[in-house]
Chains A and B, each alone.
Chain A
Amino acid sequence: MADRYNSSPVNDVTPLLEMRGISKSFPGVRALDDVSLTAIAGEVHFLLGQNGAGKSTLMRVLCGAHHPDAGEIVLDGAPVRLTSPADARRIGVAVIFQEFSLVPYLNLAQNIFLGREPRGILPGTVNHRKMHADARRLLDTLGVDLDTRTLAHELGVAQQQVVEIAKALSQDARILVMDEPTAALSDHEIDRLFARIRALTAEGVAIIYISHRLQEVAAIGDRVTVLRDGKNVATLNSSQATVNELVHLMVGRQVETIYRRKFCEQPGDVVLDVRALDADNGVQGASLTVRAGEVVGLAGVVGAGRSELARAIFGADRVVGGSVRVNGQPLGRGPVSAVRAGVGLVPESRKTEGLALMRSVEDNILVAGLRKIFPSGWYCARAAAHVAADIVSRLRIATPSTGRLTRFLSGGSQQKVVIGKWFAAGSRFFIFDEPTRGIDVGAKAEIYGVIEKLVADGAAVLMISSELPEMVAVCDRAYVVRDKRIVGELTRADLNEANILRLAMHHDA
């Protein structure tokens, strides 16, 4: 068993890259704990793990953006010190993130050679002919027939990705990290990408491939490393790994849940009724219901479209088809109607979308409820202070006073302020998007308690979470979202991590 999970290079070939014993902590969180990873020249090495398992932190250490607290990086047998992304690039590491770094109004050749343009005759000029010829050659290697004079903004996502790969190649990258490369590609484009990847590996490039699509491991992977909770739990040969086994490794043994909820025996009336919802953010044909007293989950991998669905329901993004009814009444356009109908959204990025960090706890708590609490338009400071103090004590928000600026509060308290805002507004239907992200264990339990109390009082909750144990522990049932559509519903009996993962990641090949 141990040997299977510690797959090493076959012959005694020195690995191209070794990351040994990397540890990295951030305030309150141990992101990486003694993680080791090797990459052999010419292999496609999958890096799997749930959100928060440590994949992106590990890659940021590799590309020089983070300094590890412990451990070292060894290239061709010699240790290297990376102090900046420039260093990483110099040793041949190239990363292709999901947000591309192309300049929209420069052409492909200019983008590929940005900062390294071949010099022309006069000082400061560029030798365009050579630049385009070199770019042409790179694109030809990748089997792309785009005109090098095309401007970057005219390209589709798949094409931009190829240009990014060309850019990496032009820097003589020997280790290429690809983060969710197939997330936005069609099947046809995926095939072409795989063909290119095989061509690259034939040249000896090592590729570290991060993906949530487990079936791709068999298609193109050589070895697989699974991270869980910041640790490397296994490195397998892909030929020996089944999807089930990978899921099991990612999820681990059933962890003792810190939280036990009393589930809803008898849900009340339908509070939220969504039918065939289409929105301009990509959501298509979504239908779901939530009843009073229930906590309904929205599961899926990152990028599946859960937040988009939540935003469409709330009116934050534009609805173009279908209907959303709250307590039987159809919602008008935009957040203003939703809030008036008693809907509250606790967004994923609480600092940028849920709070005004420069304002006080009191101001943040009052902002959504202004119309309800002061219907005449006159703002009474004393009444406001009273409301704020009441909510701070009810939710046990840790703050010395309601006048404190929210930017000084802990993550958990900030989240409670956002929830408190909707309390003050009298919401009866709450949408939580990753309610406990970035919050320490103790505060997490408190938030679960708040949610449970909410529904016990007859409210209804729709909850998005990428932490599977949380979803299983807190939700009565869950819908699974994939590629911006709802692909299934799991009732209480079927609601477990393995089922969620299978539905969320299943991709009809």
Chain B
Amino acid sequence: MKAIAYRLVAVALICAGLSLSTDVFLTSANLLNVLRQASLTFLIASGLTLTILTGGLDLSVGANVGLSACLAATVMTSTGSIALGVGAGLGFGVLVGVLNGLMITLLKVPPFIATYGMLWTLNGVTYWFMGGETIHGFSAGFRQLGSGYGLGVPVPIYVMAAFLVAGGIFTRYTTFGHEVYAIGANREAARLSGVPVRARLNLVYILSGAMAGLAAIVYLARLNSAEADIGEALTLPAIAAVLVGGTSLFGGAGSLSGTLVGALILTLVVNGMNLLAVDANWQPLVTGVIVILAVWIDVMTRQRAEARV
């Protein structure tokens, strides 16, 4: 809890700084925009958080979102059915998760290699599948999911809240969630305590894929178009959000609410850069620095903890 408190203070400080530097920041339009964008980042990062909690990683989430979105778009426009399109996107996201889980638990491939290979495979397939085209023109009803408002609040924020609650329930109020933390904290001790490690790992990667699929649908609704490069720039910010949110790469510590705060911090930084008319090309650099800093804090926290055992 203390960790989240520090981060919320950081959020407050950034907000304070930005509202002093520019008039546009504290407008409701801008703030809702920030929240909407943070929600989108959070959706992708939520499944990723689960995999990192087990001491693993899913590098393929961004590419998964990309291909699932393109698939969903194609199915939606060719069959005219939103339901089929959504199903296709979700289904594919789950499929990717299943494949990742198999590579990691059955073939014993280290998670970052397995999901890295998957990332590039998905990337390539996405470009091939789209053949350089863009898909437009989804139904207005569908678009509400990404660009609509409910009671003045952008819909993605509701989706984010739903994910947050569902994820929170999963991690804190189910035995599965507790087993996930146990595996991340000490995999062998968990195994020797009767935790079905392989089954839980598969579950976690499938969930990561499923959430990526769901995020793809919301992204699609927001962007109102699908092209091959949707997913490319999504992975690094997702990882950054998780790490900044306090989830440790070593496993066993962290939370979804932390990831949300991390997504918020990241989005605020980008928003600030935009408002202050900083060249958008700086963003990957800033994200990279943030990732390094966040991991460094993680490593140092761990070292200090281990020294006190």
Interface residues of A (CB under 8 A from B): 314, 316, 335-336, 338-340, 345, 347, 351-359, 363, 366-368, 370-371, 374, 377-381, 407, 421, 425
Contacts and interface: CB of A to CB of B under 8 A. Distances in A.
B28 interface: no
A336 B174 CA distance: 18
Given A335-B192, A336-B196, A354-B192, A359 B175 contact: no
Nearest to A366: B178
B185 A358 contact: yes
B194 to A, nearest CB: 3
Nearest to A421: B193
For the residues of B in contact with A, the DSSP-based class is: helix
Contact of B190 (A340, A352, A367, A425): A367
B178 A363 contact: yes
Contact of A355 (B189, B195, B305): B189
Contacts of B196: 336
Contact of B305 (A358, A377, A421): A358
A338 B195 CA distance: 11
Contacts of B188: 352-353
Nearest to A408: B308
A370 B179 contact: yes
| Interface size band for B | 20 to 34
29 contacts: A335-B192, A335-B194, A336-B194, A340-B194, A347-B192, A352-B188, A352-B189, A353-B186, A353-B188, A353-B189, A353-B192, A355-B186, A355-B189, A356-B185, A356-B252, A357-B309, A359-B185, A363-B178, A367-B178, A367-B190, A371-B175, A377-B175, A378-B175, A379-B172, A379-B175, A379-B177, A379-B178, A380-B173, A407-B308
A356 B250 CA distance: 13
Contacts of B190: 356, 367
B172 A367 contact: no
A483 B188 CA distance: 26
Given A316-B192, A352-B189, 9 more contacts: A335-B193, A335-B194, A340-B194, A352-B186, A356-B186, A359-B182, A370-B179, A380-B173, A381-B172
A316 to B, nearest CB: 6
Contacts of A380: 173
Contacts of B179: 367, 370
A359 B185 CA distance: 7
The 6 closest A-B pairs by CB, nearest first: A339-B194, A356-B185, A368-B193, A356-B186, A370-B175, A367-B193
Contacts, number: 86
Contacts of B193: 335, 339, 367-368, 421
Contacts of A339: 193-194
A3 B132 CA distance: 94
B129 interface: no
B161 interface: no
B174 A377 contact: yes
A354 B173 CA distance: 24
Nearest to B308: A407
B309 A407 contact: yes
A421 B191 CA distance: 13
Contacts of A338: 194
Contacts of A421: 193
Contacts of B192: 314, 316, 335, 345, 347, 353-354
B103 interface: no
Contacts of A425: 194
Interface in B215-271: 252-253
Given A352-B186, A374-B175, A379-B174, A368 B309 contact: no
B127 interface: no
Interface in B174-216: 174-179, 181-182, 185-186, 188-196
A208 B172 CA distance: 56
Contacts of A336: 194-196
A357 B175 contact: no
B176 to A, nearest CB: 7
A370 B183 CA distance: 14
A316 B190 CA distance: 11
B185 A368 contact: no
Contacts of B191: 316, 335
A340 B181 CA distance: 21
B182 A363 contact: yes
A463 to B, nearest CB: 17
Contacts of A407: 305, 308-309
Interface in B114-134: none
A345 B194 CA distance: 10
Contacts of A379: 172-175, 177-178
Contacts of A353: 186, 188-189, 192
